[in-house]
């Protein structure tokens, strides 16, 4: 069995990209499970956040623009969600802020670009520098 990287969830507009990424990476799918039924991204962001916090894990959220998922996830203490449009965004999100949730746009991110972003997100480690640790602590106050 492949090592589980984390969790993934989307709304109806992010479903196709989520389905593509599930075929490329070992992720636990929390829904939605089709692109026909209209759903609220907030519900799936909350579901993923619950698992990420409980399991001390990571996750990927996808909606049309990425904005709704990003805002919904970041309302939770302990979550550092980052909307990433490219590989550099993913690298900096992990290295500087120890992001634990990657957010992607289902409408504006191509499949092959998303794969590269996910690979960079999961291969980049947090720097661990004191100044970044201090800033992260302030985020959860």
Distance of alpha carbon 108 from alpha carbon 96, whole angstroms: 25
For 88-106, the pLDDT digits (tens) are: 999 999 999 999 999 999 9
Query: What pLDDT does 53 receive?
Result: 98
The whole-chain average pLDDT of the chain stands at: 96
Query: What pLDDT does 1 receive?
Result: 39
Catalytic residue among 20, 76, 85, 96: 96
Q: Among this protein's residues, is 76 annotated catalytic?
A: no
Distance of alpha carbon 51 from alpha carbon 100, whole angstroms: 12
Query: What pLDDT does 135 receive?
Result: 94
Query: What pLDDT does 3 receive?
Result: 66
Superfamily of domain 6-139: Sugar-phosphate isomerase, RpiB/LacA/LacB (3.40.1400.10)
**Where in the chain does DSSP place strands (E)?**
6-10, 27-29, 59-63, 81-83, 101-105
Q: How is residue 32 annotated by DSSP?
A: -
Q: pLDDT tens digits for the chain (141 residues)?
A: 356 789 999 999 999 999 999 999 999 999 999 999 999 999 999 999 999 999 999 999 999 999 999 999 999 999 999 999 999 999 999 999 999 999 999 999 999 999 999 999 999 999 999 999 999 999 987
Q: What is the pTM of this model?
A: 0.96
Distance of alpha carbon 73 from alpha carbon 67, whole angstroms: 10
Distance of alpha carbon 106 from alpha carbon 89, whole angstroms: 16
For 33-46, the pLDDT digits (tens) are: 999 999 999 999 99
Query: What pLDDT does 140 receive?
Result: 83
User: CB of 30 within 8 A of CB of 52?
Assistant: no
What is the dihedral sign for C-alpha 92, 123, 72, 22?
A: positive
Query: What pLDDT does 141 receive?
Result: 77
């Amino acid at each position: 069995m492949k090592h589980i990287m984390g969790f993934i969830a989307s709304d109806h507009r992010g479903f196709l990209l989520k389905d593509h990424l599930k075929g490329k990476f070992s992720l636990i799918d929390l829904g939605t499970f089709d692109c026909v039924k209209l759903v609220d991204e907030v519900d799936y962001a909350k579901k993923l956040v619950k698992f990420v916090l409980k399991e001390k894990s990571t996750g990927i959220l996808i909606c049309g623009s990425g904005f709704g998922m990003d805002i919904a996830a970041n309302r939770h203490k302990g979550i550092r969600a980052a909307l990433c449009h490219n590989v550099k965004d993913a690298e900096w999100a992990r290295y500087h802020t120890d992001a634990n949730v990657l957010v992607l746009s289902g409408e504006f991110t191509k499949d092959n670009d998303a794969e590269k972003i996910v690979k960079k997100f999961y291969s980049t480690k947090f720097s661990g520098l004191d100044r970044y640790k201090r800033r992260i602590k302030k985020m959860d106050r």
